[in-house]
Amino acid sequence: MTKQEDILTRISERYDRMSKSHKVIARYIMEHYDQAVFMTAAKLGETLGISESTVVRFASGVGCEGYPEFQKALEECVKSKLNSIQKMDAKYGRSSQSEVLASVITADIEKLQHTIEHLDPAAFETAVSTILEAETIYIMGLRSNEPLAEFLHFYLNMVRGGVVLLKTTSVSETFEQMIRIHEKDCFIGISFPRYSMRTLKAMEFANDRNAKVVAITDSAHSPMCLYSSCNLLARSDMVSIVDSLVAPLSVINALVVALCLKCPQEVRRNLEMLEETWNNYQVYLNDEINFIDDEPILNYSLRREQDAGEQ
């Protein structure tokens, strides 16, 4: 484990047991350690509206002998970020463009294979059942994870109703959007390094309201697993400043397909209603592909249902 992983992991592991003021510091550090590294304890406290002594106690609370040692750990975070650029240059610097393409795609294939071998089938089944049975589903993924959340939201809307995509730049707005969440609802939190503390806070809130919480993240050590009852793990690391989201997207795609297979009749009705609406309001031109009649997954599921009924 690197020093960066060590300090951030220590913060995330202790987060649930922290005082309110220490949680404020933890959230800021997790999302802005590259800025906090240049701050004295007094400056960090001033930025967050917290006393200097509280900041020093926070440093001790995460296993450092004092704030100077804590600041050195933050320095390692910044160095690690720079090292990723150096590693990328070492790996790809002398490669041709076609070699870069092949290398990146090969690395993505390896991540997909690792995800296949290590993703818990029971957790996947639980996630599918939880999503199907929930009254309302809340989805949250921020920054580089936002496209994953939008993709899942778009297709879940075709499978069922009651799907809410949380899009906000503040924790308070997040709580306002999910203030009615309760024990019959489901919250899906999507986060990969660097982990989003706003997503983590939303998952904590959902867990406190006894909602079912599903985490889509990279590791059992991810802080996203603190409040989830079901973890879908997918590899995302890469020797680059850009993490690979191929495996996470594939897991989300598998979720959508599994849900379609569970309720093909409802999905077909929803798609037919959408197509009728598009035609009535001329949303698409007539040369668009008719994806309902030719949808093999839905047709296969419907045939299975019919065969089962005849038996």
Cα–Cα dist 81/269, whole Å: 48
In terms of C-beta density within 10 A (0-12 exposed, 13-18 middle, 19 or more buried), how is residue 14 classed? Answer: middle
What does the alpha-carbon distance between residue 284 and residue 69 come to, in Å, rounded to a whole number? 60
Q: Dump pLDDT digits (tens) for 222-275.
A: 888 889 989 999 988 754 556 788 999 999 999 998 988 887 777 777 777 777
Give the CATH fold of the 3-92 domain: Arc Repressor Mutant, subunit A (1.10.10)
Report if pTM > 0.75: no
Angle, nearest 10°, between helix axes 246-262 and 97-118? Answer: 50
pLDDT digits (tens, 9 = 90+) for 240-249: 556 788 999 9
- pLDDT per residue rounded down to tens, the chain (311 residues): 344 446 777 787 788 888 999 989 988 887 777 788 888 899 999 999 999 999 999 999 988 888 999 988 888 776 665 554 444 454 545 556 666 677 778 888 888 888 898 899 999 999 999 999 999 999 999 888 999 999 999 989 888 889 999 987 677 788 889 999 999 999 999 998 878 888 988 999 999 999 999 999 988 888 888 899 899 999 887 545 567 889 999 999 999 989 888 877 777 777 777 777 766 666 555 555 455 555 655 665 556 666 666 65
CATH of domain 119-260: 3.40.50.10490
Residue 256 in tokens: 């959508």
Q: What are the tokens at 219?
A: 């590791």
Domain ranges across the chain: 3-92, 119-260, 264-310
Residue type, 52: E
Q: Are 262 and 256 in contact (CB under 8 A)?
A: no
Report pLDDT digits (tens) over 186-195: 999 999 887 8
Phi, psi of 25 (to 5 degrees): -65, -45
Run of H or E residues at 231: strand 230-233
CA atoms of 121 and 124, how far apart (whole Å): 5
